[in-house]
Structure 1
């Protein structure tokens, strides 16, 4: 993998952890989510005329993908209402690859390789670092993080099927983010009503740049998938769990910093092992 690809993927990981930190620290997460994903949707919409057309099969996967991504957005709000960034984010991102592996076994009959089994064990050890009496973790925070991880796994599988059916990752992604942005704005409007406009006015200065950066970061990940081994790309991408632990500890003043950073490092190592080629 070239240094350029590695650098872009690491930047993407930092951006992903950063916009999650923005959401966690926001005064109104519903409004922030609407602006953030609304911005991503607008950026994606501008690219629709320049990507290959969507296939009939691709349209069939788009609706469930948008539904799952919308549920993911709302679940993030609940997750950060009960849990710290340095706790909830690593758990959710760590559980996701384990769930994807399980779905592959149950639905596709894939047999886990030796390195995948080792990776599962390492991730499991890392996740245990977030548990226990001294981990400062509430039950609700852990439950919402686990649910978020399962949703991440679910939309990962659906997105993969959609990309395969479409034949173009950029086409499916552009339509997905356009529709997802619209859905998040509509959900926010139904939840906040007339107050949304004023709340958006308070949040847009930070949320708009974050949404634009998140959209560019996602594009960088898609570009990286076309330039290097997908397993390696995924492993570097999930280094975001470490950045989330660092941001939560250093900038949000969250407790148990050393323990959570250590656990995040173990989770990241496990994800790397999971992604290694045979």
Structure 2
């Protein structure tokens, strides 16, 4: 069972890297964030109608998670506005496993075996090393916003790990989170972009934006399910294999160079994932 859950998390990581590629290629990332919310709202609206209500004990976590996800999305957009995608993404994703490791120890009392803890460290170091390469500079605001994004990722991961276990039905839990997060997010983006009608002017772009949303919501549903079988820190670190998939997507589809530095980073993250599985 554990091996199957690990496979699900790795599939989730590939989906996460794929939707971030859509975000990277979008000419208007705020607009894409609005289109991204459409499948979330549709799926979660159906989900909350057909699934049982989460246990009352999980509702504070549902509300907190929705607020954190909302803040995370806009922090990510703000970070991309002032920094390079190839730097911001690894810093944000690389910081979160370390923070989750500490948070899970403090709040969930989850202690990882020494090998798994070493694996988490290798994953974080490998991912963050992708951000630092010759000839690139950070703007004055990019690093603080990337670190803020990483903080939100870690915080909602811990909240969801705890909340999903209390909910009784993890899928019901995440459907309510999706609904409470994406309805206000879609409304805010519509106001910023001139109304709901303007969001659908380009049908081709709208479809791509909604496809990114489908990938993202499916990816995190898999993570929520995994929280029920594996420690929170382990799931978080394995999920950040998405950075390696992002490097491969960039190499295969965006003509980005697969440098020696990136290969070393990939090896570090892969070794970390193996240690975590052991």
Where on the TM-score scale, by shorter chain, does this alignment land: which range? 0.7 to 0.9
Q: How many Å separate the matches in 2 of 1:144 and 1:90?
A: 13
Listed one character per residue, the Cα deviations across residues 30-72 of structure 1 (whole Å, up to 9, x for unaligned) are 1111111221221122122222212322222222111100011
Q: How many Å separate the matches in 2 of 1:197 and 1:260?
A: 42
CA contact (8 A) 1:88 1:142 kept: yes
Change (3 A) 1:24 1:108: same
1:123-272 matched pairs, under 5 angstroms: 123=123, 125-127=125-127, 129-130=129-130, 134=134, 136-139=136-139, 140-194=141-195, 197-202=197-202, 203-223=205-225, 229=230, 236-254=238-256, 257-270=259-272, 272=274
Change (3 A) 1:132 1:4: closer
Q: 64-73 or 205-214: which moved more?
A: 205-214
Q: How many Å separate the matches in 2 of 1:262 and 1:166?
A: 41
What residue ranges of structure 2 are gaps of 5+ in the alignment? none
What is the TM-score normalised by the length of structure 2?
0.82
Alignment root-mean-square deviation, CA? 3.1
Listed one character per residue, the Cα deviations across residues 123-160 of structure 1 (whole Å, up to 9, x for unaligned) are 45425634656262425444332221111110011112
Change (3 A) 1:90 1:192: same
Listed one character per residue, the Cα deviations across residues 68-113 of structure 1 (whole Å, up to 9, x for unaligned) are 0001111121233344444332332221110012223455666664
1:89 equivalent in structure 2 = 89
Change (3 A) 1:81 1:267: farther
What residue ranges of structure 1 are gaps of 5+ in the alignment? none
Listed one character per residue, the Cα deviations across residues 199-243 of structure 1 (whole Å, up to 9, x for unaligned) are 4433312112222233333334445556x6457755543321111
Q: How many Å separate the matches in 2 of 1:100 and 1:7?
A: 20
CA contact (8 A) 2:86 2:130 kept: no
Q: How many Å separate the matches in 1 of 2:270 and 2:91?
A: 11
What is the TM-score normalised by the length of structure 1?
0.82
Change (3 A) 1:117 1:7: closer
Change (3 A) 1:212 1:111: closer
Deviation of 1:197 (Å): 3.3
1:76 equivalent in structure 2 = 76
Deviation of 1:8 (Å): 4.6
CA contact (8 A) 2:58 2:166 kept: yes
Deviation of 1:20 (Å): 0.7
Deviation of 1:268 (Å): 4.6
Change (3 A) 1:24 1:113: same
Q: Does 1:25 align with 2:25?
A: yes
Listed one character per residue, the Cα deviations across residues 164-217 of structure 1 (whole Å, up to 9, x for unaligned) are 3322211110101112111210221233334x6324433312112222233333
- Aligned partner of residue 201 in structure 2, secondary structure: helix
Q: How many Å separate the matches in 2 of 1:218 and 1:185?
A: 19
